[in-house]
């Protein structure tokens, strides 16, 4: 069953494609230690899927002071999405092969830009093949799409966001989606400062998934968020706004309109005047 219009199962996607129904499928393979998934895409992808580069097309590296993965502009998203074949009135399915990070980033960026009916493939590429879905190799060049983006500034788009200044005075609950050792400051492989934003609670994005990469059962997710005191206003961050999108998507699936802090820890820790906490 599709969950709250955010996720789609592999079986549902298979029925859509087997039935010839209109759908745009985007392959957003990305990992922290292997950000370019294009070669993996070429070796095998969901039939008809178009490769999307998280670093080049879902990020604007010309923006400074807003972390490692600054948000792109709406106009750049529109231009890219049309090249991917995304069309108005046609659903878009995004998938990845690593902890839903790439697909959640794509879901967040496209939705924040004002593109409707974007779904994350629950379980990613592994779920597709487990459901009997075949793979095709090589590149896919679709017919150009006609999608229209309604928000130029994604920091003030169709999904709620937080700035560093707003985080500093935030009265809601702040969740940190990084791994526990990064949250505690015991390990920091990427950013120059270890630790977390004072007052935040750890909610690792990988903990909302089962061992096979699909979402945990609804009751488990309710307990997971209840244990962290989720109620009222909620903001989510991670290292650079990517894996936090996974937690935001799951919260939205549960009816909680959580705000993303796009700059996340990479922006926060770049200013030595901002308070940093360590420990669990």
Please name each of the domains of the chain with its CATH number.
Answer: 7-155 (3.40.250.10), 164-277 (3.40.250.10)
**Rounded to 5 degrees, what angle do the CA atoms 214, 220, 225 make?**
105
- pLDDT tens-digit readout, 146-178: 999 999 999 999 999 999 999 999 999 999 999
Whole-number percent of the chain with pLDDT over 70: 99
Whole-number percent of the chain with pLDDT over 90: 97
Q: What is the pLDDT of residue 5?
A: 84
Q: What is the pLDDT of residue 4?
A: 57
- pLDDT tens-digit readout, 192-233: 999 999 999 999 999 999 999 999 999 999 999 999 999 999
Q: Which of 54, 238, 242, 259 is catalytic?
A: 238
Q: Which pTM was predicted?
A: 0.97
pLDDT at 22 over 70: yes
Contact indicator for 163, 155 with CB cutoff of 8 Å: yes
Q: What is the pLDDT of residue 54?
A: 98
Contact indicator for 274, 196 with CB cutoff of 8 Å: no
pLDDT band at 20 (very low <50, low <70, confident <90, very high): confident
The rounded mean pLDDT for the chain is: 96
Based on the residue annotation, tell me whether 238 is a catalytic residue of this protein. Answer: yes
Contact indicator for 88, 148 with CB cutoff of 8 Å: yes
Contacts of 269 (CB under 8 A, 6+ apart): 191, 192, 193, 195, 276
DSSP for residue 24: E
- pLDDT tens-digit readout, 73-95: 999 999 999 999 999 999 999 99
Tell me the torsion sign for CA atoms 48, 251, 105, 128: negative
pLDDT at 2 over 60: no
């Amino acid at each position: 069953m599709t969950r709250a219009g955010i996720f789609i199962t592999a079986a549902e996607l298979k029925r859509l494609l087997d039935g010839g129904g209109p759908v745009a499928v985007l392959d957003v393979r990305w990992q922290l230690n292997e950000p370019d998934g294009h070669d993996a895409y070429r070796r095998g992808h969901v039939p008809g899927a178009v490769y999307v580069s998280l670093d080049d097309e879902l990020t604007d590296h010309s923006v400074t002071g807003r972390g490692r993965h600054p948000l792109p502009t709406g106009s750049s998203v529109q231009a890219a999405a049309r090249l991917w074949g995304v069309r108005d009135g046609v659903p878009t399915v995004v998938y990845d092969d690593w902890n839903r990070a790439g697909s959640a980033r794509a879901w967040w960026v496209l939705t924040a830009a004002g593109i409707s009916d974007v779904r994350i493939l629950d379980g990613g590429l592994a779920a597709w093949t487990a459901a009997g879905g075949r793979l095709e190799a090589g590149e896919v060049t679709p017919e150009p799409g006609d999608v229209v983006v309604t928000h130029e500034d994604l920091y003030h788009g169709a999904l709620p966001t937080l700035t560093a200044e707003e985080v500093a005075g935030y009265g809601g609950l702040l969740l940190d989606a990084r791994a526990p050792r990064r949250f505690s400051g015991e390990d920091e492989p990427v950013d120059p400062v270890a630790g977390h934003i004072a007052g935040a609670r750890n909610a690792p994005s990988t903990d909302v998934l089962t061992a096979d990469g699909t979402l945990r059962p609804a009751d488990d997710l309710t307990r997971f968020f209840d244990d962290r005191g989720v109620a009222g206003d909620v903001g989510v961050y991670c290292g650079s706004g990517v894996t936090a999108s996974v937690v935001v998507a799951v919260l939205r699936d549960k009816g909680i309109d959580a705000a993303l802090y796009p700059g996340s820890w990479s922006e926060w820790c770049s200013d030595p005047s901002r308070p940093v906490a360590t420990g669990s």
